[in-house]
Amino acid sequence: MVKRMRNSGVVWIGGLLLIILTVVSSCDTDIDINAENREVPIVYCVLDISDSVQFLKLNKTYLLEQAALENPPHRDSMYFVGNIDIVLERWEGNKPVEIITFYPSTDISKDDGFFPSDDNIVYKADTRILSNTVYHLNIYVEDKERILHSEITTVGKLLVIDPIDLPQRVVSLNTGINYTTRWKPVSNAGIYQVVVRFHYKEIIDGNIQDLNFEWPQSFTSPISNVDYLSKDISGARFYHILSDEIPVKNGLSRQVSDIDILILSGGMELKYYIESTAPADGALMERPVYTNIVNGLGIFSSVATKEVNGLSLASTTIDSIAYGQITKDLLFLDHKELRNDDGE
Protein backbone atom coordinates (compact mmCIF):
# COMPACT_ATOMS: atom_id res chain seq x y z
CA MET A 1 0.00 0.00 0.00
CA VAL A 2 2.36 2.70 -1.26
CA LYS A 3 1.92 5.50 -3.74
CA ARG A 4 4.41 6.20 -6.50
CA MET A 5 4.15 9.08 -8.88
CA ARG A 6 3.60 7.99 -12.46
CA ASN A 7 6.94 7.17 -14.13
CA SER A 8 8.98 8.23 -11.10
CA GLY A 9 9.12 5.06 -9.00
CA VAL A 10 9.25 7.23 -5.87
CA VAL A 11 6.95 6.73 -2.91
CA TRP A 12 5.36 9.92 -1.64
CA ILE A 13 4.50 10.10 2.07
CA GLY A 14 1.49 12.36 1.47
CA GLY A 15 0.17 10.10 -1.27
CA LEU A 16 0.76 7.06 0.91
CA LEU A 17 -1.37 8.55 3.68
CA LEU A 18 -4.15 9.38 1.23
CA ILE A 19 -4.15 5.82 -0.12
CA ILE A 20 -4.30 4.49 3.43
CA LEU A 21 -7.51 6.47 3.95
CA THR A 22 -9.16 5.82 0.58
CA VAL A 23 -8.30 2.21 -0.24
CA VAL A 24 -9.93 -0.52 1.79
CA SER A 25 -7.38 -2.97 3.15
CA SER A 26 -7.48 -6.38 1.55
CA CYS A 27 -6.54 -9.81 2.77
CA ASP A 28 -3.29 -10.35 4.63
CA THR A 29 -1.07 -13.30 3.80
CA ASP A 30 1.37 -12.91 6.67
CA ILE A 31 -1.05 -14.21 9.29
CA ASP A 32 -3.50 -17.07 9.48
CA ILE A 33 -6.79 -15.21 9.16
CA ASN A 34 -8.66 -18.51 9.06
CA ALA A 35 -7.59 -19.33 12.61
CA GLU A 36 -10.68 -19.57 14.79
CA ASN A 37 -12.53 -17.80 11.96
CA ARG A 38 -11.77 -14.44 13.61
CA GLU A 39 -10.98 -11.34 11.59
CA VAL A 40 -7.88 -9.31 12.40
CA PRO A 41 -8.30 -5.52 12.81
CA ILE A 42 -6.19 -3.28 10.58
CA VAL A 43 -5.55 0.25 11.84
CA TYR A 44 -3.91 3.19 10.08
CA CYS A 45 -3.51 6.46 11.98
CA VAL A 46 -0.79 9.00 11.23
CA LEU A 47 -1.17 12.13 13.34
CA ASP A 48 -0.33 15.35 11.50
CA ILE A 49 0.99 18.07 13.80
CA SER A 50 0.64 20.55 10.92
CA ASP A 51 -3.13 20.04 10.63
CA SER A 52 -6.21 20.68 12.76
CA VAL A 53 -7.99 17.48 11.70
CA GLN A 54 -6.83 13.91 12.28
CA PHE A 55 -8.03 10.75 10.53
CA LEU A 56 -7.98 7.05 11.36
CA LYS A 57 -8.84 4.05 9.18
CA LEU A 58 -10.16 0.82 10.70
CA ASN A 59 -10.87 -2.29 8.65
CA LYS A 60 -10.58 -6.01 9.10
CA THR A 61 -8.89 -8.72 7.09
CA TYR A 62 -11.02 -10.79 4.77
CA LEU A 63 -10.60 -13.81 2.55
CA LEU A 64 -10.26 -13.17 -1.17
CA GLU A 65 -12.05 -16.46 -1.79
CA GLN A 66 -15.01 -15.29 0.27
CA ALA A 67 -14.96 -11.81 -1.24
CA ALA A 68 -14.93 -13.20 -4.79
CA LEU A 69 -18.18 -15.04 -4.07
CA GLU A 70 -19.80 -11.82 -2.85
CA ASN A 71 -18.58 -9.59 -5.74
CA PRO A 72 -18.38 -6.95 -4.42
CA PRO A 73 -17.75 -7.90 -0.80
CA HIS A 74 -20.51 -7.16 1.67
CA ARG A 75 -19.96 -4.17 3.89
CA ASP A 76 -19.67 -6.36 7.00
CA SER A 77 -16.82 -8.25 5.29
CA MET A 78 -14.76 -5.07 5.48
CA TYR A 79 -15.89 -3.29 8.64
CA PHE A 80 -16.50 -4.32 12.23
CA VAL A 81 -20.09 -4.27 13.44
CA GLY A 82 -21.25 -3.25 16.88
CA ASN A 83 -20.04 -0.36 18.97
CA ILE A 84 -16.58 0.98 18.16
CA ASP A 85 -14.90 3.44 20.50
CA ILE A 86 -11.68 5.15 19.41
CA VAL A 87 -9.87 7.24 21.99
CA LEU A 88 -6.62 9.19 21.67
CA GLU A 89 -4.93 10.15 24.93
CA ARG A 90 -2.28 12.84 25.36
CA TRP A 91 0.04 11.92 28.20
CA GLU A 92 2.26 13.99 30.45
CA GLY A 93 4.45 12.11 32.89
CA ASN A 94 2.69 8.88 33.73
CA LYS A 95 -0.93 9.90 33.20
CA PRO A 96 -3.29 11.10 30.47
CA VAL A 97 -4.09 14.83 30.51
CA GLU A 98 -6.35 15.07 27.47
CA ILE A 99 -8.88 12.64 25.98
CA ILE A 100 -9.72 12.97 22.27
CA THR A 101 -12.51 10.96 20.63
CA PHE A 102 -12.64 9.90 16.98
CA TYR A 103 -16.05 9.81 15.28
CA PRO A 104 -17.17 8.13 12.02
CA SER A 105 -16.87 10.32 8.95
CA THR A 106 -17.37 10.08 5.19
CA ASP A 107 -15.32 13.21 4.40
CA ILE A 108 -12.80 11.27 2.29
CA SER A 109 -13.99 9.71 -0.95
CA LYS A 110 -13.27 6.05 -1.64
CA ASP A 111 -11.34 4.86 -4.66
CA ASP A 112 -13.39 2.97 -7.22
CA GLY A 113 -12.75 -0.72 -7.56
CA PHE A 114 -13.74 -4.16 -6.38
CA PHE A 115 -14.82 -3.03 -2.94
CA PRO A 116 -18.28 -2.04 -1.67
CA SER A 117 -19.75 1.05 -3.33
CA ASP A 118 -20.94 2.47 -0.01
CA ASP A 119 -19.38 5.56 1.54
CA ASN A 120 -15.78 5.24 2.65
CA ILE A 121 -15.84 5.11 6.45
CA VAL A 122 -12.96 6.74 8.27
CA TYR A 123 -12.79 8.15 11.78
CA LYS A 124 -12.13 11.82 12.37
CA ALA A 125 -11.06 14.01 15.27
CA ASP A 126 -11.01 17.81 15.11
CA THR A 127 -7.91 18.48 17.15
CA ARG A 128 -4.41 19.88 17.02
CA ILE A 129 -1.58 17.50 17.86
CA LEU A 130 1.37 18.66 19.93
CA SER A 131 4.95 17.99 18.86
CA ASN A 132 7.34 15.90 20.97
CA THR A 133 4.42 14.53 22.95
CA VAL A 134 3.38 11.03 24.02
CA TYR A 135 0.03 9.84 22.65
CA HIS A 136 -1.76 6.57 23.40
CA LEU A 137 -4.29 5.15 20.95
CA ASN A 138 -6.99 2.81 22.27
CA ILE A 139 -9.60 1.19 20.03
CA TYR A 140 -12.45 -0.87 21.44
CA VAL A 141 -14.20 -3.14 18.92
CA GLU A 142 -16.94 -5.76 19.12
CA ASP A 143 -18.65 -4.04 22.04
CA LYS A 144 -15.33 -3.70 23.89
CA GLU A 145 -14.57 -7.41 23.70
CA ARG A 146 -11.32 -6.55 21.90
CA ILE A 147 -8.94 -3.73 22.68
CA LEU A 148 -6.30 -2.46 20.25
CA HIS A 149 -3.49 -0.31 21.59
CA SER A 150 -0.44 1.64 20.46
CA GLU A 151 1.64 4.55 21.72
CA ILE A 152 4.12 6.96 20.15
CA THR A 153 6.04 10.16 20.76
CA THR A 154 5.20 12.62 18.00
CA VAL A 155 7.81 14.26 15.80
CA GLY A 156 9.09 17.74 16.56
CA LYS A 157 8.38 20.93 14.66
CA LEU A 158 9.90 21.38 11.22
CA LEU A 159 12.05 24.46 10.56
CA VAL A 160 12.99 25.17 6.93
CA ILE A 161 16.24 26.99 6.23
CA ASP A 162 16.00 27.13 2.45
CA PRO A 163 13.87 28.03 0.56
CA ILE A 164 12.79 31.08 2.51
CA ASP A 165 9.55 32.75 1.49
CA LEU A 166 10.93 36.11 0.39
CA PRO A 167 9.69 38.56 -2.30
CA GLN A 168 11.52 38.24 -5.62
CA ARG A 169 12.96 34.87 -4.62
CA VAL A 170 13.52 32.70 -7.71
CA VAL A 171 14.46 29.06 -8.12
CA SER A 172 16.77 27.90 -10.91
CA LEU A 173 16.37 24.37 -12.24
CA ASN A 174 18.48 23.89 -15.33
CA THR A 175 20.52 21.02 -16.74
CA GLY A 176 23.64 20.89 -14.60
CA ILE A 177 22.10 23.17 -11.97
CA ASN A 178 20.38 21.61 -8.96
CA TYR A 179 18.41 23.39 -6.28
CA THR A 180 19.26 22.48 -2.69
CA THR A 181 16.67 22.54 0.08
CA ARG A 182 17.78 22.66 3.72
CA TRP A 183 16.01 22.17 7.04
CA LYS A 184 16.80 21.64 10.70
CA PRO A 185 16.82 18.05 12.06
CA VAL A 186 13.49 17.12 13.65
CA SER A 187 13.35 15.24 16.95
CA ASN A 188 11.81 11.74 16.83
CA ALA A 189 11.86 11.76 13.01
CA GLY A 190 12.97 8.66 11.13
CA ILE A 191 12.40 9.78 7.56
CA TYR A 192 12.18 12.99 5.51
CA GLN A 193 10.93 13.81 2.06
CA VAL A 194 10.93 16.84 -0.23
CA VAL A 195 8.11 17.30 -2.74
CA VAL A 196 8.01 19.83 -5.59
CA ARG A 197 4.55 21.00 -6.66
CA PHE A 198 4.60 22.54 -10.15
CA HIS A 199 1.77 24.96 -11.07
CA TYR A 200 0.95 25.92 -14.64
CA LYS A 201 -1.89 27.22 -16.81
CA GLU A 202 -3.43 25.82 -19.97
CA ILE A 203 -5.06 28.31 -22.34
CA ILE A 204 -7.47 26.95 -24.95
CA ASP A 205 -9.65 29.39 -26.97
CA GLY A 206 -9.27 32.01 -24.27
CA ASN A 207 -10.26 29.64 -21.48
CA ILE A 208 -7.66 29.32 -18.71
CA GLN A 209 -7.31 26.23 -16.53
CA ASP A 210 -5.01 26.12 -13.51
CA LEU A 211 -3.24 22.76 -13.16
CA ASN A 212 -0.50 21.25 -11.03
CA PHE A 213 1.28 18.01 -10.25
CA GLU A 214 3.59 16.88 -7.47
CA TRP A 215 7.09 15.49 -7.89
CA PRO A 216 8.26 13.58 -4.80
CA GLN A 217 11.98 13.24 -4.19
CA SER A 218 13.61 10.12 -2.77
CA PHE A 219 13.67 9.80 1.00
CA THR A 220 16.29 11.41 3.23
CA SER A 221 17.40 9.67 6.43
CA PRO A 222 18.35 11.42 9.67
CA ILE A 223 22.04 12.18 10.29
CA SER A 224 23.45 12.63 13.78
CA ASN A 225 25.32 15.72 14.96
CA VAL A 226 24.60 18.00 12.00
CA ASP A 227 23.23 21.56 11.95
CA TYR A 228 20.96 20.92 8.99
CA LEU A 229 19.81 18.28 6.50
CA SER A 230 19.57 18.87 2.77
CA LYS A 231 18.20 17.47 -0.47
CA ASP A 232 19.25 18.31 -4.02
CA ILE A 233 16.44 18.71 -6.56
CA SER A 234 17.85 17.65 -9.92
CA GLY A 235 17.70 20.30 -12.63
CA ALA A 236 18.26 17.73 -15.38
CA ARG A 237 15.59 15.37 -14.03
CA PHE A 238 13.11 18.24 -13.74
CA TYR A 239 12.60 18.46 -17.51
CA HIS A 240 12.04 14.72 -17.87
CA ILE A 241 9.41 14.93 -15.11
CA LEU A 242 7.61 17.72 -16.97
CA SER A 243 7.63 15.64 -20.13
CA ASP A 244 6.31 12.57 -18.28
CA GLU A 245 3.57 14.36 -16.34
CA ILE A 246 2.23 16.88 -18.87
CA PRO A 247 0.67 15.45 -22.06
CA VAL A 248 1.47 16.87 -25.49
CA LYS A 249 -1.59 18.63 -26.91
CA ASN A 250 -2.23 20.78 -29.97
CA GLY A 251 -4.27 23.96 -30.15
CA LEU A 252 -3.24 25.43 -26.82
CA SER A 253 -0.56 27.37 -25.02
CA ARG A 254 0.80 26.86 -21.53
CA GLN A 255 2.23 29.20 -18.94
CA VAL A 256 4.52 28.45 -16.03
CA SER A 257 2.95 29.80 -12.83
CA ASP A 258 5.19 28.94 -9.87
CA ILE A 259 6.29 26.07 -7.67
CA ASP A 260 5.76 25.06 -4.06
CA ILE A 261 8.34 23.13 -2.08
CA LEU A 262 7.05 20.83 0.66
CA ILE A 263 9.26 19.20 3.28
CA LEU A 264 7.80 16.33 5.28
CA SER A 265 9.16 14.55 8.33
CA GLY A 266 7.77 11.24 9.55
CA GLY A 267 8.15 9.23 12.74
CA MET A 268 10.31 6.14 13.10
CA GLU A 269 7.18 3.97 12.82
CA LEU A 270 6.44 5.42 9.39
CA LYS A 271 10.03 4.79 8.31
CA TYR A 272 9.78 1.12 9.34
CA TYR A 273 6.40 0.75 7.60
CA ILE A 274 7.61 2.25 4.31
CA GLU A 275 10.77 0.13 4.37
CA SER A 276 8.75 -3.03 5.00
CA THR A 277 6.42 -2.33 2.05
CA ALA A 278 9.23 -1.51 -0.40
CA PRO A 279 9.80 -4.11 -3.16
CA ALA A 280 12.24 -6.81 -2.10
CA ASP A 281 15.49 -7.05 -4.06
CA GLY A 282 16.32 -10.11 -6.13
CA ALA A 283 15.06 -13.45 -4.94
CA LEU A 284 14.58 -12.39 -1.32
CA MET A 285 11.43 -13.63 0.31
CA GLU A 286 8.63 -11.15 0.90
CA ARG A 287 9.18 -9.28 4.14
CA PRO A 288 6.50 -9.04 6.81
CA VAL A 289 4.83 -5.63 6.86
CA TYR A 290 5.76 -3.59 9.94
CA THR A 291 3.06 -3.03 12.54
CA ASN A 292 3.00 -1.35 15.95
CA ILE A 293 -0.64 -2.12 16.75
CA VAL A 294 -1.12 -4.42 19.74
CA ASN A 295 -3.83 -7.07 19.04
CA GLY A 296 -4.05 -5.99 15.40
CA LEU A 297 -2.13 -4.87 12.34
CA GLY A 298 -1.29 -1.46 10.90
CA ILE A 299 0.57 1.64 11.91
CA PHE A 300 0.28 4.50 14.39
CA SER A 301 2.77 7.31 13.74
CA SER A 302 3.09 11.07 13.17
CA VAL A 303 4.19 13.55 10.50
CA ALA A 304 5.01 17.24 10.25
CA THR A 305 4.86 19.23 7.02
CA LYS A 306 6.18 22.63 6.04
CA GLU A 307 5.28 24.30 2.75
CA VAL A 308 6.95 27.24 1.03
CA ASN A 309 4.46 28.34 -1.63
CA GLY A 310 4.52 30.57 -4.69
CA LEU A 311 8.21 30.38 -5.57
CA SER A 312 8.99 31.87 -8.98
CA LEU A 313 11.14 30.03 -11.48
CA ALA A 314 14.10 31.85 -12.99
CA SER A 315 13.66 33.24 -16.50
CA THR A 316 16.39 30.90 -17.75
CA THR A 317 14.41 27.92 -16.42
CA ILE A 318 11.17 29.17 -18.04
CA ASP A 319 12.97 29.61 -21.37
CA SER A 320 14.52 26.15 -21.11
CA ILE A 321 11.03 24.69 -20.63
CA ALA A 322 9.78 26.60 -23.68
CA TYR A 323 12.63 25.75 -26.05
CA GLY A 324 14.44 22.74 -24.61
CA GLN A 325 14.56 19.52 -26.60
CA ILE A 326 12.73 17.53 -23.94
CA THR A 327 9.84 19.95 -23.26
CA LYS A 328 9.46 22.14 -26.36
CA ASP A 329 6.43 20.14 -27.59
CA LEU A 330 4.53 21.05 -24.42
CA LEU A 331 4.04 24.57 -25.88
CA PHE A 332 5.00 26.66 -22.87
CA LEU A 333 5.53 30.40 -23.34
CA ASP A 334 8.98 31.84 -22.69
CA HIS A 335 9.57 34.48 -20.03
CA LYS A 336 9.21 37.42 -22.45
CA GLU A 337 5.91 36.09 -23.78
CA LEU A 338 4.74 35.65 -20.20
CA ARG A 339 5.50 39.30 -19.45
CA ASN A 340 3.67 40.44 -22.58
CA ASP A 341 0.73 38.22 -21.71
CA ASP A 342 0.59 39.80 -18.25
CA GLY A 343 0.54 43.24 -19.84
CA GLU A 344 3.98 44.25 -18.64
Nearest to 101 by CA among 131, 127, 81: 127
DSSP string, 227-241: S-EEEEEPHHHHHHH
Work out the end-to-end distance of the chain between its first and last CA atoms, rounded to an integer number of angstroms.
48
- CATH superfamily to which 13-156+272-301 belongs: Immunoglobulins (2.60.40.10)
Mean pLDDT split into 10-residue runs, the chain, 344 residues = 41 59 44 54 94 92 52 59 90 96 79 47 94 97 82 96 83 91 96 97 95 94 91 96 96 96 96 86 71 95 95 95 96 88 58
Assess contact for 97 and 90: CB atoms under 8 A: yes
Q: Domain spans of the chain?
A: 13-156+272-301, 160-266+306-341
Pairing of strands 95-105, 85-92: antiparallel
Nearest to 158 by CA among 80, 79, 78, 49: 49
One-letter identity of residue 111: D
Note the pLDDT of residue 168.
76
Q: Report the DSSP beta bridge partners of residue 256.
A: 200
Burial pattern 299-334, b for ≥16 Cβ within 10 A else e, equals: bbbbbbbbebeebbbbeebbbbbbebebbeebbbbb
- The pTM is what? 0.83
Note the pLDDT of residue 285.
63
Please state, in angstroms and rounded to a whole number, the distance separating the CA atoms of residues 3 and 17.
Answer: 9
SS3 category, 158: coil
